[in-house]
């Protein structure tokens, strides 16, 4: 079963729940009517007359509504060539109204689910999908608007269609390589030529994107590698402002809550306030921290931290490093020195080197990742600030062009909004409402 089938699996429970609700309501109404008929026969008689009139009126309204629905359905099945821009605009308005209604409903569900009486497992399961949904809302909306505008310009699927589709994908930050491959492979898709409505064309495009994304991650390992014995050491690298320190603070809280003994190493000794910022996180999370004087040797801090982690039997050590540009030789040499110290003290360390990227920078984040991958042994990506950008497509580019696993994603500002990356939740959150499967 492919990743695209997530849309069918999500749609099926909704329809079953709807049918169950109808049956339940019908049964309840039947019981109420029976009770009323036994105790107040004369009143029931009058009520039935009134209800009969009301039912007749409602039936007429329902028939009129059904007629309108049938008319809209017929319009939606017209060929791409015959759909006018005015018709598509009306369709967009309808879709936007539906999305707004859905958003209000989901917000209510989120508020209801966040109750302290629920078990941690149930709360995590419920809120993870909701966080992906809300965190990717800007990306989903932005991509949907661009796709709708793109489809409105074309009357047929020709060479210009594919050239412009390629540009659309690049603008959506899915990466140049994926954009070209998507355009090339869709040219060969016979069913795209047979797609008649804009919805059918949209479905085919998105299904192919998901297919390529899934194919690129076939052998991907997005798990966090833990030490078989002794402390697990995880280093964090990236440019200033990407969110390294905040990511460490959130992960420390996550692992502390899971029962792990956590230690932080403040090896970003050059940036003003960096050590103090990590100390605040350590105090908030209730974990220990190793620091050094400002402008001191970061490698010395790492040595003290790894020694403490071993001697005091910590489960996990998070190492914060100075923000560095990947083309600064001295800083990259400093990073290599820290890694040598870790390996000398714990031969299998560091167990992870996570590159923290700011998703709001779009294509620049992809370029950073390429250069960091060339200069150091990056094992995975932490993608921050996804909730604040319409550039969620960068996840597709990272997997397809770099073959680096995204291991965590930032979906909000709260400590609990840093989530383990889940491909199914990501794909559903990014394209929800843009795909129509029956």
Q: What is the pLDDT of residues 151-180, one digit of tens each?
A: 888 777 788 888 898 998 888 888 888 899
Residue 211 has pLDDT above 80, yes or no: yes
Higher-pLDDT residue of 333, 291: 291
CATH superfamily of 85-216: SRP54, nucleotide-binding domain (1.20.120.140)
Is 244 annotated in some ligand binding site? yes
Is 410 annotated in some ligand binding site? no
Q: How far from 36 is each of 26, 29, 206, CA to CA, in Å?
A: 16, 11, 54
Is 291 annotated in some ligand binding site? no
What CATH number does the domain located at 232-422 have?
3.40.50.300
Is 320 annotated in some ligand binding site? yes
- Lowest-pLDDT choice from 302-311, 341-350, 415-424: 415-424
Residue 93 phi/psi, 5-degree rounding, is: -60, -45
DSSP string, 249-315: HHHHHHHHHTT--EEEEEE--SSTTHHHHHHHHHHHHT-EEE---TT--HHHHHHHHHHHHHHTT-S
Q: Which sequence spans correspond to the domains of the chain?
A: 3-67, 85-216, 232-422
Length of the chain: 438
Residue 304 has pLDDT above 50, yes or no: yes
Is 239 annotated in some ligand binding site? yes
Is 385 annotated in some ligand binding site? yes
Note if the pTM is more than 0.85: no
Is 90 annotated in some ligand binding site? no
- Lowest-pLDDT choice from 39-43, 378-382, 416-420, 433-437: 39-43
Is 259 annotated in some ligand binding site? no
326 pLDDT band, cuts 50/70/90, is low
Q: Tens digits of per-residue pLDDT, 46-71? A: 444 344 443 444 444 343 344 333 33
Residue 110 has pLDDT above 50, yes or no: no
Residue 378 has pLDDT above 70, yes or no: yes
Q: What is the mean pLDDT of the chain?
A: 75
Is 322 annotated in some ligand binding site? yes
State how far the Cα of 369 lies from the Cα of 357, in Å rounded to an integer: 8
Is 373 annotated in some ligand binding site? no
CB atoms < 10 A from the CB of 306, how many?
Answer: 28
Residue 391 has pLDDT above 90, yes or no: no
Span 5-25, average pLDDT: 54
Is 227 annotated in some ligand binding site? no
Give the pLDDT of residue 435.
75
Higher-pLDDT residue of 119, 135: 135
Give the pLDDT of residue 160.
86
Give the pLDDT of residue 327.
57
Residue 319 Cα to chain centre, angstroms: 26
CA atoms within 13 A on the CB side of 268: 28
Is 41 annotated in some ligand binding site? no
Give the pLDDT of residue 92.
43
Higher-pLDDT residue of 51, 268: 268
Residue 281 has pLDDT above 90, yes or no: yes
Is 416 annotated in some ligand binding site? no
Is 240 annotated in some ligand binding site? yes
Is 250 annotated in some ligand binding site? no
Most confident of the ranges 9-23, 103-117, 190-204, 307-321? 307-321
Residue 424 has pLDDT above 90, yes or no: no
């Amino acid at each position: 079963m492919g990743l695209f089938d997530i849309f069918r699996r999500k749609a099926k429970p909704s329809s079953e729940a709807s049918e169950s609700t109808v049956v339940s309501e019908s049964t309840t109404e039947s019981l109420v009517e029976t009770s009323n008929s036994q105790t107040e026969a004369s009143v029931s008689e009058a009520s039935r007359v009134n209800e009969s009139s009301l039912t007749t009126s409602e039936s007429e309204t329902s028939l009129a509504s059904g007629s309108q629905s049938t008319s809209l359905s017929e319009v939606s099945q017209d060929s791409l060539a015959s759909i006018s821009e005015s018709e598509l605009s009306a369709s967009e308005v309808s879709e936007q109204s539906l999305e707004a209604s859905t958003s209000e409903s989901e917000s209510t569900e989120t508020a209801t689910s966040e109750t302290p009486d629920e078990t941690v497992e149930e709360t995590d399961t419920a809120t993870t999908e909701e966080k992906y949904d809300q965190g990717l809302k800007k990306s989903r909306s932005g991509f949907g608007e661009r796709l709708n505008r793109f489809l409105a310009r074309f009357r047929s699927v020709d060479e210009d269609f594919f050239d412009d589709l390629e540009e659309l994908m690049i603008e959506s930050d899915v990466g140049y390589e994926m954009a070209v491959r998507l355009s090339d492979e869709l040219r060969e898709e016979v069913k795209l030529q047979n797609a008649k409505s804009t919805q059918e064309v949209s479905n085919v495009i998105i299904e192919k994107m998901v297919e390529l994304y899934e194919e690129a991650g076939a052998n991907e390992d997005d798990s966090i590698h833990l030490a078989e014995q002794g402390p697990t050491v995880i280093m964090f690298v990236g440019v200033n402002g990407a969110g390294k320190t905040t990511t460490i603070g959130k992960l420390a809280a996550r692992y502390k809550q899971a029962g792990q003994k956590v230690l932080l190493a403040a090896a970003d000794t050059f940036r003003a306030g960096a050590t103090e910022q990590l100390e605040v996180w350590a105090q908030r999370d209730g974990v220990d921290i190793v620091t050094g004087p400002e402008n001191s040797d970061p490698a010395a801090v790492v040595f003290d931290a790894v020694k403490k982690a071993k001697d005091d039997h910590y489960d996990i050590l998070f190492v914060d490093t100075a923000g560095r540009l990947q083309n600064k030789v001295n800083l990259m040499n400093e990073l290599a020195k820290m890694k040598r110290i870790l390996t000398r003290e714990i031969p299998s360390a560091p167990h992870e080197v996570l590159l923290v990227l700011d998703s709001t920078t779009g294509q620049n984040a992809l370029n950073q990742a390429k250069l960091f991958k060339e200069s150091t042994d990056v094992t995975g990506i932490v993608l921050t600030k996804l909730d604040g950008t319409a550039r969620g497509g960068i996840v597709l580019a990272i997997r397809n062009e770099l073959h680096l696993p995204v291991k965590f994603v930032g979906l909000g500002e709260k400590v609990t909004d840093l989530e383990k990356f889940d491909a199914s939740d990501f794909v559903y959150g990014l394209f929800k409402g843009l795909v129509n499967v029956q």
